[in-house]
Structure 1
Amino acid sequence: MKHLLLLGGGHAHVEVLRQIGANPLPGWRVTLLTREAQSPYSGMLPGVMAGLYRPEQALIDMAALCARCGVALLLDRATGIDPQRRLVRRAAGGDIAWDLLSIDTGATPETDRTPGAAEHALPLKPIDALLPRLGALAACRSIAVVGGGAAGFEVALALHRRAAVTLVAGGSGLLPGFPTKLRQRAARALAARGVALREGQDVVEVTAGRLHFAAGPPLEAEALVWATGAAAAPWLAETGLARDEKGFLRLDACLRAVGHDAIFAAGDVVSFPGGLPKAGVFAVRQGPVLAANLRAVAMGVAPRPHVPQRDYLRLLSLSDGRALGTRNGFVFGGRWVWWLKDRIDRRFMARYQR
């Protein structure tokens, strides 16, 4: 039998697993290689931190999912890919041969750009490493969250009932890329809940319990949470696969690695044509297309292009039973928006937890 190897248990791959379970690939065996026994759903992480969800509600049991889908599971970490010999190297030793490969390993924290961040700050990702440390985080009296994007905003609000929180949005400001009206409402939401907002300057250095800026006094806090952009895993540089200037895998329109018809990828590990942002919604949307294209290639059929939507629904939890949202330039908020976000998140998880 030929071998389909799924590398990583990200949002796109859990959909691939589900579809293989519903309609197995004749003549193929399938293996999932992932370091996460419990795959976290990033959309529910702020809710877990705020106490709105139990941790297990935001986790997918990969052993149970693979067993239901007839897929072999290897709990290990990939350390390299040899595209010519069609091998994946494992941290535990031993290579795995494949005929068709799909990569959905996510990204790593962007801590290397700021001196001291890797040593003294707690990164949001990988989420499975963050969850066990939430108890210690809850005991802190002051917390600084670095990163003014959606993740930093939601996490700052999720933690504000536990401690005095400062959101450091940096030079890009609060929620760059979002409509102006939503950014204004978000700033008011922070102020109304007592979350301090510091904008205008990026952090230039991190020391124990302290953030330093090019000008002005440092910011002290018992805990420093790093919620800035994502970085590519260093081991991708040794694969010989085409990458962009930031190190992410370059894909064609069919989600294939450029120059390799037997290697597909999705999620935060990739650089998709058009410069899609690193958002979970795109990995979720890529899942069905990835599953269809892997099946097509396995059956000797040409894959089809993935056409991302131009605009998408963006929902931001305020961690108090309310949320803000935007789509197609419209901005809205309230309890019904939280209800919508909660419904979407629970429905997504129910597909893979049951």
Structure 2
Amino acid sequence: MAERHLLLAGGGHAHVEVLRRLAARPLAGWRITLLTRERHSPYSGMLPGVAAGLYHPEQALIDTRALAARAGAALVIDSVEGLDPGARRLHRASGDPIAYDLLSIDTGATPDVSRLPGAAEHALPLKPIDALLPRLQGLDAEVRPGQAVALIGGGAAGFEMSLAMAARLGPRKVRIVLVAGESGLLPGVPAVLRRRAAAALAARGVALHEGANVSEVTEGALRFEERPALAADVVLLATGASPAEWLARSGLVRDGRGFLLVEPTLQAVGQPAIFAAGDVASLLPEPAPKAGVFAVRQGPVLAENLRAAAEGRPLATYTPQQDWLVLLSLGDGHALGTRNGLVFGGRWVWWWKDWIDRRFMARYQAAG
């Protein structure tokens, strides 16, 4: 019987777990290929710490070449350009299409700059995260004392990165502004945590603007419908992400926002040979938030279901957690957190977060 082919498109959080499990237990009769944009896959949970100077960049990067080698997988550095599910071929930017028997997609999401006028021309998106570190290095060279760096987006990413920028650029007398918009700071978390988060911003010199959405990004300013403009020499975009353009041409079933719809087995709707996890996917019947914690939890289920599909066995279902631990770095060795309605903070919370993150990374950075 001819050897069959499992193609992993994307080096996201779920796929690194798939590779780790394949390294521990090879899949007989199958060859594996990982196609990813970058040799190093960043762990989103540690990137605010990298931006703040609490970690060296390499501490938050998974060497996908080494991980693929341990799993016996071929590595292709390229990006996805299209998909032909009928022919079971994936099209890439550089080179011939890649045929597959089973395909798993974990390519993440792209920054959604289309909804905000001027964002494409005048804002630096935080996603894709594998390109964030080079953008931060460019930012270091660009900003000057007295200038303002504004972050648009009041969710966890905007909150953590605003404090990371305060730690990184505040000593250079650069002003940091967080624009949380109409939804406000950290929507959906307990009110006590929102108050403590606002206090943490104020204590670290980050100006918080809530209650109005940015209507346009222009050179040097953020504009609003009914408020005065805010000066902003550099704008970072931490708002929602959008699906990759190639998904619209794939013929796969998508949700109203364009993300790939997947069953609880993580199979694409109507496509049993295609699986997906992480931000690229939208789970039925109720989509999970676009957050790394869900991609991490999907990894073991995805790994086992790919093996089960390859071996012709029944698949398991993924059930998103209803409550999860939230730990937010304050950029200076302190953190805030919440779980089950409890809110806590301090240096010990940062130590806890640091221990969790380092333990996660050790699974994939080990030499053997």
Length-normalised TM-score, structure 1:
0.98
Q: Which residue of 1 aligns with 2:252?
A: 241
2:102 matched to 1:100?
Answer: yes
Q: In the TM superposition, what is the alpha-carbon distance from 1:309 to its structure 2 partner?
A: 1.4
Distance in structure 1 (CA, Å) of the matches to 2:47 and 2:12: 15
2:321 matched to 1:305?
Answer: no
Q: In the TM superposition, what is the alpha-carbon distance from 1:93 to its structure 2 partner?
A: 2.9
> SS of the counterpart of 1:262?
strand
Q: Which residue of 1 aligns with 2:354?
A: 342
Q: Which residue of 2 aligns with 1:87?
A: 89
Distance in structure 2 (CA, Å) of the matches to 1:136 and 1:97: 38
Distance in structure 2 (CA, Å) of the matches to 1:279 and 1:142: 28
> SS of the counterpart of 1:240?
coil
Q: Which residue of 2 aligns with 1:21?
A: 23
Q: In the TM superposition, what is the alpha-carbon distance from 1:160 to its structure 2 partner?
A: 0.9
Distance in structure 2 (CA, Å) of the matches to 1:269 and 1:321: 32
Q: Which runs of 5+ in 2 are unaligned?
A: none
RMSD of the TM alignment (CA)? 0.9
Say which of 342, 357, 360 aligns to 1:330.
Answer: 342
2:153 matched to 1:147?
Answer: yes
> SS of the counterpart of 1:43?
helix
Q: Which residue of 2 aligns with 1:270?
A: 281
Q: Deviations over 1:44-101 (max 9, x none)?
A: 1110110000111111111111112211000011111111110000111311100000
Q: Deviations over 1:31-55 (max 9, x none)?
A: 0011111111111111011000011
Q: Deviations over 1:243-266 (max 9, x none)?
A: 000000111111100111111000
Say which of 33, 51, 54 aligns to 1:52.
Answer: 54
Q: Which residue of 2 aligns with 1:214?
A: 225
Give the partner amino acid of 1:160: A
Distance in structure 1 (CA, Å) of the matches to 2:316 and 2:137: 46
Q: Which residue of 1 aligns with 2:162?
A: 156
Give the partner amino acid of 1:155: M
Distance in structure 2 (CA, Å) of the matches to 1:58 and 1:19: 20
Distance in structure 2 (CA, Å) of the matches to 1:192 and 1:316: 16
Mapping of 1:143-292 within 5 angstroms? 143-161=149-167, 162=169, 163-273=174-284, 274-292=286-304
Distance in structure 1 (CA, Å) of the matches to 2:345 and 2:242: 31
Q: In the TM superposition, what is the alpha-carbon distance from 1:138 to its structure 2 partner?
A: 2.8
Q: In the TM superposition, what is the alpha-carbon distance from 1:280 to its structure 2 partner?
A: 0.3
Distance in structure 1 (CA, Å) of the matches to 2:190 and 2:252: 36
Distance in structure 2 (CA, Å) of the matches to 1:62 and 1:199: 40
Give the stretch that moved more between structures: 80-89 or 59-68.
59-68
Q: In the TM superposition, what is the alpha-carbon distance from 1:307 to its structure 2 partner?
A: 1.3
Distance in structure 2 (CA, Å) of the matches to 1:148 and 1:260: 36
Give the partner amino acid of 1:153: F
Give the stretch that moved more between structures: 161-170 or 143-152.
161-170
Give the partner amino acid of 2:283: F
Mapping of 1:115-130 within 5 angstroms? 115-130=117-132
Distance in structure 2 (CA, Å) of the matches to 1:106 and 1:34: 11
Distance in structure 1 (CA, Å) of the matches to 2:292 and 2:166: 24
Q: In the TM superposition, what is the alpha-carbon distance from 1:220 to its structure 2 partner?
A: 1.3
Q: Deviations over 1:305-350 (max 9, x none)?
A: 1111110001100111111111111111111111111011111111
Mapping of 1:57-72 within 5 angstroms? 57-72=59-74
Q: Deviations over 1:176-201 (max 9, x none)?
A: 11111101110111111111000111
Q: Which runs of 5+ in 1 are unaligned?
A: none
Give the partner amino acid of 2:323: D
Distance in structure 2 (CA, Å) of the matches to 1:93 and 1:25: 26
2:325 matched to 1:319?
Answer: no
Aligned residues: 354
Length-normalised TM-score, structure 2:
0.95
> SS of the counterpart of 1:79?
strand
Identical aligned pairs, as a percentage? 66
Give the partner amino acid of 2:158: G
> SS of the counterpart of 2:271?
coil
Q: In the TM superposition, what is the alpha-carbon distance from 1:209 to its structure 2 partner?
A: 2.2
Q: Which residue of 1 aligns with 2:45?
A: 43
